[in-house]
Structure 1
Amino acid sequence: MGWSRPVGWLLDHVIYRTSVTGRDNVPADGPVIFAGNHISFLDGPVMFGASPRPMHILVKQEMFKGFLGRVLRASGQLPVDRSGDRSALQLGKAVLDAGRCVGILPEGTRGSGKASGISNGVAWLALNSAAAVVPVAILGTRKGGEHLDTVPRPGRRLHVSFGEPLRIGRKPNETGRASMDRAGMEIRAALAKHVQDTIYLSGQPLPDAEFPQERPNAVAGSPADHH
């Protein structure tokens, strides 16, 4: 992943003008799950470039074709079958068990970015690893009434903010289903609050949603649409 880190930095600070806050909130070592809101194709790459630590981002497997697919694999990104295959979660867990970082956009598809609904994939990873969950607010990659497929022009101001880490664990006598539901709610609430706090502090709003959120219950429904 060494070569892809400078590429991510160039995307954030040469092609776009990205301000980054909250880097100190990211644990310096140990496994971390970065959970970001999702409004644009660029969210995954922008989060990747802004992070103080390298990460493996869950990306829908349809993107792993041709030249782009080779680039994604070479940069360490993880393919996800959104039909419900859990192999991506197991692979993500293996990455976290090795003390590395995984990036997820748990809303599962591009939308308003408010984190009003997320998949349980991020909750499963949090519960089945020792990873901290860092909420990530990504703003500016799409704005106003821009179409979901819009790629912002070079030079646009973007903002990425890393929130305080959460530690999610199982509670005594709590069923697996109850643990998943609770963990999902805690992560969703933390991400939604961090997004709103970042909007207030940065003055940069979310875009209008093109259509309602989709696939909130997908098993690993947290891949980036693009990297």
Structure 2
Amino acid sequence: MSAADLPASSAEHPPTRMLHGLRPLSAWLLRRRWPVRVHGAEHLPARGGAILAANHVGAIDGPLLAIFAPRPVHALTKQEMFSGRLGGFLRGAGQVPLDRFHPDPAAIRSCLRVVRDGGVVGIFPEGTRGAGRLDRFHHGAAYLALVTGAPVVPVTMIGTRPPGGGSNALPPRGEPIDLVLGEAWRTAQQPWPRTREHVAATSVLLRGHMLSEQDGALSRTRRSLPGPLPAGQSEDDPDTGLVEHPREL
């Protein structure tokens, strides 16, 4: 599929200079504290637009995805992070602000521009940090896949929060961190209009694929997820997408 086959986007491509330039140094610095291991890099196409969809368990998931993914990633990041110096840095590093509580056409246009230009978008379908088992699954990744037809590569983040640790807890120094990329999932590009029912059904299929790949990642690494956040530490999150009661881990 060529860029000519994708819907037009009026957004400018997010900045790339810092995103590309800082990755080697950032990776070196982080690996001085934690052994970061990337598995399944071959599942992300070497070129062309793509979507990385990751579970979300710890505070460092976003930076790790942007720094250690096989290709630079423009990750959707909650707009609350885009204030002060950190906000300037995130924008300069090509990350995309997202309003989680209201429809955000600007974020969609930015993601579409990235995919049209052959780049990689990163999405955390759970929306907020938690157990990482996709018990809440927002529709953004499925919607973008329907709009673009781009492959969605699942990512399982393992070891980014200690077992039972709080929302901002970091893993102990020297504790390994695994990023496991699974087999790409695809759906046919769907021209406008896209019904809510179609998007929801696509989310069900994508979530099922991600859970299957996550089970495989945990089995291969012989590791487990950290479990739910302590009581009272879950962030507010819009009541949208697919929701299941948390399962026993």
Do structure 1's residue 129 and structure 2's residue 180 form an aligned pair? no
Do structure 1's residue 9 and structure 2's residue 27 form an aligned pair? yes
Paired amino acid for 2:57: I
Paired amino acid for 2:155: V
Give the structure 2 partner of residue 32 of structure 1. 50
Q: 1:180 aligns with which of 199, 208, 223?
A: 199
Percent identical residues: 33
Separation (CA, whole Å) in 1 of partners of 2:140 and 2:72: 20
Paired amino acid for 2:238: R
Separation (CA, whole Å) in 2 of partners of 1:52 and 1:194: 18
- Structure 1 unmatched ranges of 5 or more: 219-227
- Structure 2 unmatched ranges of 5 or more: 1-18, 242-249
Q: Does structure 2 conserve the Cα–Cα contact (< 8 Å) formed by 1:116 and 1:188?
A: no
Cα distance per residue 1:91-146 (max 9 Å; x no partner): 11121111111001110111110112210111111100131100000000013111
Q: TM-score under structure 1 normalisation?
A: 0.88
Separation (CA, whole Å) in 1 of partners of 2:129 and 2:115: 25
Cα distance per residue 1:180-216 (max 9 Å; x no partner): 0121011111111211111111111101202579435
Separation (CA, whole Å) in 1 of partners of 2:140 and 2:190: 19
Segment of structure 1 superposing worse, 59-68 or 35-44: 59-68
Do structure 1's residue 68 and structure 2's residue 91 form an aligned pair? no
Do structure 1's residue 116 and structure 2's residue 135 form an aligned pair? yes
Give the structure 2 partner of residue 54 of structure 1. 72
Q: How does 1:130-145 map to 2 (within 5 A)?
A: 130-145=149-164
Q: Pick 1 or 2: higher relative contact order, CA cutoff 8 A, min separation 6.
A: 1
Q: Give 1 or 2 for the bigger CA radius of gyration.
A: 2
Q: Does structure 2 conserve the Cα–Cα contact (< 8 Å) formed by 1:170 and 1:179?
A: no
Separation (CA, whole Å) in 1 of partners of 2:239 and 2:34: 30
Separation (CA, whole Å) in 1 of partners of 2:173 and 2:204: 36
Segment of structure 1 superposing worse, 194-203 or 134-143: 194-203
Q: What SS is found at the alignment partner of 1:150?
A: coil
Separation (CA, whole Å) in 2 of partners of 1:193 and 1:75: 32
Q: Does structure 2 conserve the Cα–Cα contact (< 8 Å) formed by 1:33 and 1:104?
A: yes
Q: TM-score under structure 2 normalisation?
A: 0.81
Separation (CA, whole Å) in 2 of partners of 1:115 and 1:97: 28
Give the structure 2 partner of residue 217 of structure 1. 240
Segment of structure 1 superposing worse, 104-113 or 8-17: 8-17
Aligned positions, number: 217
